[in-house]
Structure 1
């Protein structure tokens, strides 16, 4: 058992054996988030939920069968992270994880635009995954020390999984950069396309600053140096150019500037909204 009192379970990828939390344990723990903590958990959960949905679009379309399985498993890990964060957030408002996933409108989601971007080709998807996973790795390394034991337990499970996600994406980065001229071109193009959206990951949006002071949250701005440093090492090892384009401005996680969020939610939520309360 860990500090949060949660048991050990494997991840969807069977990589993260160790101290972990399950959704059932979270519900049984009677932990209740206050409003600020819930809004923070919502930010973390929405990022994982939307990226899981994007990765699910690759099933049966990846360049090789093994990658169908790998991307599906990474998506399942992210979906698990989303379940935990949304379940915890919902305790503040008497709402379930399904309520928050399927019955919020577009402007109520707090996902970053990076995870909302179209998959593009395989190289672009890997570039997006490498950037987000590198950020998530640094986030969870710090969040395991949160004074909120539930957030710390979720981070403990997620950390082991995103470590694998970084390894998967970085190995493909090296493979494509060292392959044909076309695979190298596409990998560089994928990085160039996704890089401008990275800046939003490091903005200390409300309510994070007040939670940082109490040791509950991790300031995204504090993750920039290590995240960009790790990405730079991988990109240089692959012999590719570090993207130099300006960051896309105006991002605030409200969805006001998102071109894709509404389309993602329309597909993700249609069944639940057509048959509310249905079970099987």
Structure 2
């Protein structure tokens, strides 16, 4: 890859990671004032803020690499749904509390392996963002792990909700470990991460947690993909309508 192509690929990579963070952050923000009790309401709002803060760092770096006057707001608020490259698991509806906790567990375990690898990146900015996010992710995983045990091995109703959520989300986890040519080239260049190599350790840890929570690991008999190439569920369109409304109604507005 030439220096120019490497720069463009890194910009796309940073944008993808920003998309993952902003979409999941927005989903978690939907729990604000809707949590099962006050402390959890505050905790979920704080996790959402962690992801939004992470998205800002990725988008700011993508804008810097683009060098065309764009800002983080342009990446977050002025792109259409097909221009987003987030993984599908992040855009799925908030669901009930069990659904949110299962999704967080699956994503949190992934991030505990992905971010330390990204922190080794030859790109100092990406490595710095990852290093900061590692600390947040440890807290996120502690919470999702505890809630998985509490609900999975709780009442019959909570167990059923957790198992149902797990079955409905499992097919979206395969996309976490996919990589297109751009990501493979960046990984080979020492900038990105070889996602596929993370799956065995991810699966082992997730399986151990689920077993401890008396939940059954689903079969790998279905998979949904497409987020990285702009194919999304209808849920992302509804999410962006809410998230982008103010900026589109008042173009150029600033806080």
Range into which the TM-score falls when normalised by the shorter chain: over 0.9
| Residue 140 of structure 1 pairs with residue 115 of structure 2 | yes
1:203 aligns to what? 178
Distance in 1 between the 2:56 and 2:246 partners? Answer: 18
Shift of 1:42: 1.1
Shift of 1:247: 3.0
| Residue 236 of structure 1 pairs with residue 208 of structure 2 | no
1:77 aligns to what? 50
**Partners of 1:192 and 1:245 within 8 A in 2:** no
| Residue 89 of structure 1 pairs with residue 53 of structure 2 | no
| TM-score computed with the length of structure 2 as normaliser | 0.94
SS of residue in 2 equivalent to 1:224:
helix
2:31 aligns to what? 58
| Residue 160 of structure 1 pairs with residue 135 of structure 2 | yes
2:78 aligns to what? 103
CA gap of 1:250–1:174, structure 2 versus 1, over 3 A, is closer
The 4+ residue runs of structure 1 with deviation greater than 3 A are none
SS of residue in 1 equivalent to 2:65:
coil
Distance in 2 between the 1:234 and 1:138 partners? Answer: 16
| Residue 188 of structure 1 pairs with residue 163 of structure 2 | yes
1:47 aligns to what? 20
Which residues in structure 2 correspond to 1:215-226 (within 5 Å)? 215-226=190-201
After superposition, what is the alpha-carbon deviation per residue over 1:109-140, rounded to whole angstroms, capped at 9, x for unaligned? 10011011111110001111111111111110
**Partners of 2:35 and 2:41 within 8 A in 1:** yes
1:36 aligns to what? 9
Aligned CA-pair RMSD: 1.3
**Partners of 1:177 and 1:238 within 8 A in 2:** yes
Shift of 1:177: 1.5
After superposition, what is the alpha-carbon deviation per residue over 1:62-92, rounded to whole angstroms, capped at 9, x for unaligned? 1111110110000000111111111111112
Distance in 2 between the 1:205 and 1:63 partners? Answer: 39
| Residue 124 of structure 1 pairs with residue 99 of structure 2 | yes
Distance in 2 between the 1:55 and 1:257 partners? Answer: 19
Distance in 1 between the 2:215 and 2:199 partners? Answer: 20
SS of residue in 1 equivalent to 2:234:
coil
Distance in 1 between the 2:183 and 2:198 partners? Answer: 13
Distance in 2 between the 1:235 and 1:250 partners? Answer: 24
Distance in 1 between the 2:180 and 2:79 partners? Answer: 20
SS of residue in 2 equivalent to 1:61:
coil
SS of residue in 2 equivalent to 1:34:
helix
**Partners of 2:88 and 2:227 within 8 A in 1:** no
The count of corresponding residues between Structure 1 and Structure 2 is 248
Distance in 1 between the 2:231 and 2:55 partners? Answer: 22
